[in-house]
Structure 1
Amino acid sequence: MTTPTPTPTPTPTPTAIDTAVLRGLTKDGRGPRLLDVRTPGEFHTVHIPGAYNVPLDTLREHRAELLRHLDEDTVLICRSGARAAQAEQALADAGLPGLRVLEGGMVAWEAAGGPVTRGAARWELERQVRLIAGSIVLVSGLAGLAIPGLPLIGTAVGAGLTFAAVTNTCAMGMMLARLPYNRGPRTDINTVIAALKSRP
Structure 2
Amino acid sequence: MTSTATAPRMIDAAMLKEWADNHDDLMVIDVRSGAEFDSLHIPGSYHVPLPMLSEHAGEFASKMGTRVVLVCQSGIRAEEASKHLDAAGFSTVFVLAGGVPAYAAAGGDVVRGRSFWAMERQVRMAAGSLVLAGIVGGKFVSPKLGLIAGGVGAGLTVSAATNSCAMGQMLARMPRNRSANDPTPAQALKNLGARA
Equivalent residue, structure 1, for 2:190? 194
CA 1:196–1:145 in structure 2 vs 1: closer, same or farther (change >3 Å)?
closer
Question: Between the two proteins, what is the percent identity of the paired residues?
Answer: 43
Deviation at 1:8, TM superposition (A): 4.8
In structure 1, give the amino acid aligned to 2:194: S
148-157 vs 160-169, which moves further: 148-157
Larger helix proportion of the pair: 2
In structure 2, give the amino acid aligned to 1:11: A
In structure 1, give the amino acid aligned to 2:55: E
1:75 and 2:69 correspond: yes
Bigger Rg, which one: 1
1:180 and 2:175 correspond: yes
Aligned partner of 1:35 among 29, 37, 50: 29
Q: Tell me the number of residue pairs that the alignment of Structure 1 and Structure 2 aligns.
A: 194
Three-state SS of the structure 2 residue aligned to 1:100 is strand
Question: How far apart are the structure 1 equivalents of 2:2 and 2:152?
Answer: 36
Aligned partner of 1:23 among 11, 17, 20: 17
Q: Give the alignment's Cα RMSD to 1 decimal.
A: 1.9
**TM-score when normalising by structure 2:** 0.90
1:145 and 2:131 correspond: no
Three-state SS of the structure 1 residue aligned to 2:52 is helix
Equivalent residue, structure 2, for 1:122? 116
Three-state SS of the structure 2 residue aligned to 1:149 is helix
Question: How far apart are the structure 1 equivalents of 2:151 and 2:193?
Answer: 46
Unaligned ranges ≥5, structure 1? 1-6
Unaligned ranges ≥5, structure 2? none
Deviations 1:161-198 (A, max 9, x none): 11111111111111111101111122133333333233
Deviation at 1:52, TM superposition (A): 0.3
